[in-house]
Amino acid sequence: MYCYPDTDVLINVFDVRDENTLKEIEKVYTLFRLSEMQIQKPQNPLDKEAFLAIHHGILKDVYPFAGELRKEMISKGSSSFAHPDFIESQLNKIFDELAEENYLKGLSHEQLIPRLAYFLAELNALHPFREGNGRTLREFARQLLFNAGYQLSWEKVPEPAEIINAFVDSFNLNNNRLEKLLTEIITP
């Protein structure tokens, strides 16, 4: 439902039907929007609405579904993400839990790492959007930690594959690699 008929190309505001061209356009616009977010003060608290707004802000120039929860099944490799019927209720549950934990404010570095890894793993397993889940998750985490008095610098990770592999492990219920990575890129 998100792709042009008989293709794997996502319907986009430019009506571009070539996947490689679309990826280049997407890269330019999303990098611009992410750089804008870097200089803006994040919403506080960073709740579910703010999370959806981050997705919208990153992808609004490219996709008509920016900021909307997905309505079809998606998978990567052998991993299937949450069924669309359960996304909203699970997202509410995650954000209720995050609110109960005061959005991770007041935690020491040692306390923060496993809690952040837990929430990132839960949101990643949910994969609430049709496209842009990783970028949204990383920007959400950066803003969440900014509000909690920390700096999260994803750019310190030398290889993007390290981030992907950490999230793959977390999808398989092992947050060790994600926690180690977060320990290296979070500073007070």
* Rg, the chain, Cα only: 16
Domain that holds residue 100: 19-71+82-187
Residue 5 forms part of a structural domain: no
Nearest CA to 104 out of 44, 56, 154 is that of 44
Asked if residue 176 belongs to a domain, the reply is yes
Asked whether residue 59 is assigned to any structural domain, the reply reads: yes
Answer whether residue 155 shows pLDDT above 90: yes
Q: pLDDT grade, residue 78 (50/70/90)?
A: confident
87-139 pLDDT, tens per residue? 999 999 999 999 999 999 999 999 999 999 999 999 999 999 999 999 999 99
Four-residue CA torsion sign, 119, 142, 132, 166: negative
Number of domains in the chain: 1
Task: Tell me, yes or no, whether 90 lies in a domain.
Answer: yes
CATH number of the domain residue 181 falls in:
1.10.3290.10
pTM: 0.96
pLDDT at residue 61, as a whole number:
98
Q: Does 7 reside within a domain?
A: no
DSSP code at position 10: B
Predicted confidence at residue 18, as pLDDT, reads 98
Burial of 90 (0-12, 13-18, 19+ CB in 10 A): middle
At 31-51, the pLDDT tens digits run 999 999 999 999 999 999 999
Residue 77 pLDDT grade (very low, low, confident, very high; cuts 50, 70, 90): confident
The per-residue pLDDT for 79 is 84
Is 30 a member of any domain?
A: yes
Residue type (1 letter), 16: V
Residue 40: its pLDDT value, please?
A: 95
Instruction: Give the pairing type, strands 79-80 and 186-187.
Output: unpaired
